[in-house]
A and B are shown apart, each in its own frame.
Chain A
Amino acid sequence: MSTAVEVRDLRIELVGRDADVVDEITLEIEPGEVLGLVGESGSGKTTVGMALLGHVRRGGRVGGGAVVIDGRDLAELDASGLRGLRGGTVAYIPQDPGTALNPALRLRTQLREMLDSHGAGSDGERGARMREALEEVALPSDDAFLARYPHQLSGGQQQRVAIAMAFACRPNVIVCDEPTTGLDVTTQARVLQTVRELCRSHSVAALYVSHDLAVVAELADRVAVMYAGRIVELGTRDQLFGAARHPYTRRLLRAVPDIQGQRAVVGIPGFAPLPGRRPDWCFFEPRCELATDKCRSAFPPAFEFEAGHRARCYHADEAVRDVPVEGGVEEVHVQREPELALAIRNLDAHHGEHHTLFGVELEVHRHECVALVGESGSGKTTLARCVAGLHKDFTGAVCLGSEELPPAARSRSAEARKRIQYVFQNPYASLNPRRTVGQTIARQLELFFPRQKDMGRRVGESLERVALSPSAAEAYPDELSGGERQRVAIARALAAEPDLIVCDEITSALDVSVQAAIIDLLRELRTEMGLSLLFITHNLALIRTIADRVAVMTEGKIVELGTTAQVLERPSAPYTQQLLANTPSIAAVA
């Protein structure tokens, strides 16, 4: 059985600059095998994925090495050869089917043209194959469905159409580019299952690109880890998740929240070097606790450990010993007080005609962290907005301490507005791009503590509290990374010295290592400042790291409420049980 995919020493660089996007990429995939390609943002994993189709994004070009699919070197193909390869031999499943499907064309056209360009056989045979492809992904294959436009399908359906298109011409290789991002957990589970089954039954070699380690753990046979454009570790799933060798891999595993709750998450300080700023020695060295002078001499070559397990680190043996993946069990306790910080009583909310929340009852005690968990459309964000006064179309009571608050923020007293603060999900949208960080925080201080002197010092203090340097006050938001911006948003909330902070999916848009650092920060601040938190998320594993109690929401109702341990280990509601069953986890595999 010859290898389906072989990549040798591939280098992709930026046009016009002496900067590599990825380099020294070497990997193989056998037919029927799934290779997971894992990395954080900027690691170059999508670039490698596209290279298997002979495609490089605008501004880049292939600078060396070879990509060999089914024995054929892509560099030797002419334009029509490449076209024949794409879709016919190698197929692509996109990250966002909403934008990858043409909004102006019916499904029938988009599926059919795939077969018409690659398929042999008569007209009737191709039509039959098209319907078969849809049935394979559990979608209807009747004329009415085929006549639809992409916007008439749900996100999950769109992704399954994309999968059907990819498998339609029975390719030998599939490249999946984070295809389950943006889908909720249940749909994600179904999509992954479909991909796995189709790959097995048709003996397809698959490259699965993802930043989500848990998903990769459940799906992949072998895993490659990328960092700053290089593959730093490659091995079977058991080797990598059970006995990772590279310090970065180990630190990454330590940053992933574990739903079993055996350990706390720890972030990785610093950031990965961008193209053009990469030194000639090990890229991870500035952030690595095992770094020595040897690491600064040259980039480590690939050392082979067990069969098929390689890692590029001089200190791989010490890594196993000294870089623990499992931390101790850390208690997340802050003594909970009987006094209530927030009480929600019988809340019904509407969006115009639609009734979106039904009789919600919830309490947050002082110094407690309550997590609000649900998938998209469950109503958790609406509830959070009602608490903050940003959504006023509701009946029922939101009480701060013992005082009932008016629905709209503008109608509330300044005192009430000060005591409840809100941190938004998207760090790129929650800060005014035309104001410096210092101006944003100063405005907050002005609003709630007027007539205070010494603004500069107080702004500096706010920034230090979230582990940012006071000089960051001069910066504009677009000069900061996502994690730094989120810290500024938290600093803004803290500047008001609130009792309760509502965190609305504040880490969903961040890399896993950055997420861990933010969670860490929140826990520290909670202890220091005695805050109460209402923590909204869709990530079940994450709540282990920070929440005391959990409320599970679906379709506008709270279906389960209890301590974190109770809900995650002995859930009573069927919805919660289903959610847990569908959530991928590393520990389940290792």
Chain B
Amino acid sequence: MTRLIVRRLLLGLLTLWLISLVVFAAMLALPGDAATAILGREATPERVAALRDQLNLEDSVVSQYLQWIGGVITGSFGESAATQQPVSELLSERVGNSLFLVFVASIVAIPLSIVIGVWLAMKRDKPVDHVGSTVSLILAALPEFVIGLGLVLLFATSVFQWFPAVSLLAPGERAWEAPEYVVLPAATLVLAVTPYISRIMRGSMVEVLESEYVTMARLKGLPERTVIWRHAVPNAIVPAIQVAALQLAWMAGGVVLVEYVFSYPGIGQLLVEAVANRDMLVVQAVVMLAAAVYVLMNLVADLATILVTPKLRTAAR
């Protein structure tokens, strides 16, 4: 089993390296001179020169890349062209908030989806199941910013005025100290993610309930509770875990729109601002971070699958 894990890790690192190449290439895709393009209207000769120096634009492309990636690994991402703050500072102010948001959303969404999935599978084809599948279909279709705006319209403005529409937190502040600003964004993420996980859970539960070994368990005269929880669920939950990890990975991108809708001070909002300002160094840093999270969560998904499937766990011995 360790061989399998090591192999996955190495593959993950390879992917990360290839990703860094793509992210770096974005800098090369800037039209004309990179420094001028980034500074845009604020391109005074001194600032252009300073930025060219910082970006090592005089060096060869390979050298630029190595210097950049070296910085990334050691945690120094350069300076923001818009605010002149070190990028790492900008990130650290906000990463905590984004992580908190994702954490809250996951803690709610994952158990909720699994329970809904198991329950709907047991009520298969009854009216509740049809309602559940329709609601799931609708939520899965809607883009997350539509869900977010919908929640704003419902709970922050005309209908009920329970929660603030826009967060008034400054970037440095910690979201968990003002939880009312987290409720709606987290709820948006939960609504975006739950339909996928619960649909997979329901589907795999239904399939497992029809399987030969569950029929066999019933023919052995076991109590129904044992059949469901000892025989069915451990097999049915495997695809749901994979999907859950993938949804967590998706949230690395999902936060972007959600934070923008609610002006929530996380790295998603940072990214959108940076794109609008063409603040490339910030953009690159946030994208690398997001991609790294994605690769990590995929690794977690693979590992969780191996741990939970006896066939895979014992095979590599």
Contact = CB atoms under 8 A, between A and B. Distances in A.
Q: A and B: direct contact (Cβ < 8 Å)?
A: yes
Interface of A: 53, 55, 58, 82-88, 91-92, 94, 96, 99-105, 109, 113-114, 117-118, 149, 151-152, 165
A55 B231 contact: no
Given A100-B212, A105-B230, A113-B226, A152 B314 contact: yes
A103 B215 CA distance: 14
A105 B314 contact: no
Contact of A149 (B215, B234, B311): B311
B235 A103 contact: yes
Contacts of B226: 113, 117
Contacts of A55: 215, 218-219
Interface string B199-228: 000000000001111011111111100100
A92 B311 CA distance: 25
Counting chain A CB atoms within 10 Å of each CB, which of B215, B221, B231 scores highest?
B221
A149 B310 contact: yes
A17 to B, nearest CB: 18
Counting chain A CB atoms within 10 Å of each CB, which of B217, B309, B314 scores highest?
B217
Counting chain A CB atoms within 10 Å of each CB, which of B222, B234, B314 scores highest?
B222
B30 to A, nearest CB: 49
B219 A151 contact: no
Given A113-B226, A151-B310, A151-B311, A103 B220 contact: no
A85 B221 contact: yes
B212 A94 contact: yes
Nearest to A57: B215
B205 to A, nearest CB: 14
28 contacts: A53-B219, A55-B215, A55-B218, A58-B210, A83-B221, A83-B223, A84-B221, A86-B218, A86-B220, A86-B221, A87-B219, A87-B220, A92-B216, A92-B220, A94-B216, A100-B213, A100-B216, A102-B217, A103-B235, A103-B310, A103-B311, A104-B235, A104-B310, A105-B231, A117-B222, A118-B221, A149-B314, A151-B311
A53 B220 CA distance: 10
A104 B211 CA distance: 13
B273 to A, nearest CB: 48
Interface in B286-313: 309-311
B42 to A, nearest CB: 61
Contacts of A114: 220, 222
Contacts of B220: 86-87, 91-92, 113-114, 117, 165
A83 B213 contact: no
B235 A117 contact: no
Contacts of A82: 221
Chain A facing B: main interface SS: helix
Chain B facing A: main interface SS: helix
Given A102-B231, A113-B230, 4 more contacts: A84-B221, A99-B213, A102-B216, A118-B221
Contacts of A100: 212-213, 215-216
A83 B222 contact: yes
Contacts of A91: 220
Contact of A92 (B211, B213, B219, B235): B219
Contacts of A102: 213, 216-217, 231, 235
A500 B173 CA distance: 82
B18 to A, nearest CB: 29
Contacts of B221: 82-88, 117-118
Contacts of A113: 220, 222, 226, 230
A83 B218 CA distance: 8
A55 to B, nearest CB: 6
B298 to A, nearest CB: 23
Contacts of A105: 230-231, 234
Contacts of A83: 221-223
A113 B222 CA distance: 8
Nearest to B213: A102
Contacts of A87: 219-222
Given A55-B218, A87-B219, A87-B221, A101 B311 contact: no
B139 to A, nearest CB: 30
A151 B226 CA distance: 22
A91 B215 CA distance: 13
B54 to A, nearest CB: 53
Counting chain A CB atoms within 10 Å of each CB, which of B212, B219, B220, B222 scores highest?
B220
Contacts of A104: 234-235, 309-310
A83 to B, nearest CB: 4
Nearest to A149: B310
Contacts of B216: 92, 94, 100-102
Contacts of A86: 218-221
Contacts of B215: 55, 100
Contacts of B310: 103-104, 149, 151
Nearest to A106: B310
A203 to B, nearest CB: 21
Nearest to B312: A151
A284 B213 CA distance: 36
Contacts of B231: 102, 105
B218 A99 contact: no
B223 A117 contact: yes
Contacts of B222: 83, 87, 113-114, 117
A461 to B, nearest CB: 45
B312 to A, nearest CB: 10
A84 B218 CA distance: 11
